[in-house]
Amino acid sequence: MLNLPTRLLHGPGPSPVAPSVLEAIALPCIGHMDPQFMRVMNEIRAMMQQVFQTENEMTLACSGTGSAGGEMLMDNLVEPGDTCLIGVNGVFGGRLAEKARRAGGSVQTIETDWGKAFDQDVVIQRIEETKPDMVALVHAETSTGALQPFDRLAEAVHRYGGLLVMDCVTSLSGLPVKIDEWQIDAAYSGTQKCLSCPPGLSPVTLSERAMNKVNNRQTPVNSWYLDLNLVGNYWSGSRAYHHTAPVNMNFALHEALRLVLEEGLEARFARHERVHRQLKQALLDRGFSYASDPEHSLPMLNLVQFPKSVTDEAGARRRLLDEFNLEIGGGLGKLAGKCWRIGLMGHGAREENVAAILQAIDAVI
């Protein structure tokens, strides 16, 4: 049997998992067409609707990590030749653009400095110039710690008949994600961030407007596995068999969502913000500085520049892992070797976790 250390997971994900979620994933496996599993699916959908703050009927857990959810949306909502305007201010915006290209879209990007959010007025101006079929941005850019406002974009996108897509992999259940209020047409997340569930599923939600696009495509969906006409019937339609769902991962997601709603969304958001402020002040006192836009930064993902005394950042992170079982993330893409990414997500966003992070950093640097 495997013998593994217990890690303090405070990188960009996965995040610490609550014991009851691990107990749920270890429940006896049942069939993916079992009526009891259908009941679990219904309950998962209802709880995801609450967390997404939406009434979208097409809300499901895509089999696969958050990247699969993003690919599901691109493959279903983009047809060859569709004009796609994609915001790129970090690694995951770039991945969205690549997924849209591979789905056949004619991709235009809007870019800003890594660590900064887009000015919504600038995005709206580009929308008016290009009149795109789709606009997609990352709500919480995991590579830079930037938080992207979405509340004013939908009116401009919809004026020209387009769809507004959100990557909320890192923000869901750690920050408000108001799908209906912001008129987001489609969004995807991941279980391994603020939901504090092992990686393996991607919560996805689509509006009636988005499903109208899916149901009236002129070309087949590029991916059979991620085709919402097929997967959607399994989740909320005729219950027709499509693929073997990861049954026990859905058990884990069910428990993770239950814990989120038991705590309450507002209380959960406030907890993430509170421990973020504690960590931020302590890091500033130790000579760290924050590299993300102070007006638009994430509480659950801290992008920091380490003190100049740290001459071997990879070596310091390795010592944190080897000597203190503490995992923190290095910089990604343009920020590799320049920054650390310290996560405070879900079950790990607690005062005792902040204390453990600081104790380990003090010992190493």
Read off the pLDDT of residues 324-355 as tens digits, 9 standing for 90 and up: 999 999 999 889 999 999 999 999 999 999 99
Among residues 261, 289, 305, which one ends one of the domains?
261
Among residues 224, 243, 261, which one ends one of the domains?
261
| Same domain, yes or no: 286 and 208 | no
| Same domain, yes or no: 111 and 206 | yes
- Residue-level pLDDT at 165: 98
| Same domain, yes or no: 120 and 203 | yes
| Same domain, yes or no: 64 and 158 | yes
Q: Mean pLDDT of all residues in the chain? A: 97
The answer to whether residue 37 sits within a structural domain is yes
CB 298 within 8 A of CB 343: no
CATH code for position 95: 3.40.640.10
| Same domain, yes or no: 121 and 132 | yes
How many structural domains compose the chain?
Answer: 2
| Same domain, yes or no: 253 and 293 | no
Q: Provide the pLDDT confidence category of residue 43 given band limits of 50, 70 and 90.
A: very high
Domain extent for 136: 19-261
CATH code for position 273: 3.90.1150.10
Tokens encoding 246: 């990861």
| Same domain, yes or no: 143 and 101 | yes
201 or 333: whose pLDDT is higher?
201
| Same domain, yes or no: 159 and 281 | no
- pTM attached to this predicted model: 0.96
The answer to whether residue 158 sits within a structural domain is yes
Query: What distances in angstroms separate CA 200 from CA 67, 238, 249, one per listed residue?
Result: 10, 25, 7
Mean pLDDT of 154-163: 98
| Same domain, yes or no: 223 and 126 | yes
Percent of the chain with pLDDT over 90: 97
Q: How far apart are the first and last CA of the chain?
A: 36
The answer to whether residue 3 sits within a structural domain is no
Q: Provide the pLDDT confidence category of residue 238 given band limits of 50, 70 and 90.
A: confident
Model confidence at 60: pLDDT above 80: yes
The answer to whether residue 199 sits within a structural domain is yes
pLDDT digits (tens, 9 = 90+) for 282-313: 999 999 999 999 899 999 999 999 998 899 99
The answer to whether residue 211 sits within a structural domain is yes
SS3 labels along 284-338: HHCCCEECCCCCCECCCEEEEECCCCCCCHHHHHHHHHHHHCEECEECCHHHCCC
The answer to whether residue 298 sits within a structural domain is yes
The answer to whether residue 1 sits within a structural domain is no
Which burial class, exposed, middle or buried, applies to 325 when counting CB atoms under 10 A from its CB (0-12, 13-18, 19+)?
middle
CB 136 within 8 A of CB 165: yes
| Same domain, yes or no: 314 and 212 | no
| Same domain, yes or no: 159 and 61 | yes
Beta strand 163-167 pairing with 186-188: parallel
| Same domain, yes or no: 309 and 355 | yes
The answer to whether residue 162 sits within a structural domain is yes
Among residues 261, 296, 323, which one ends one of the domains?
261
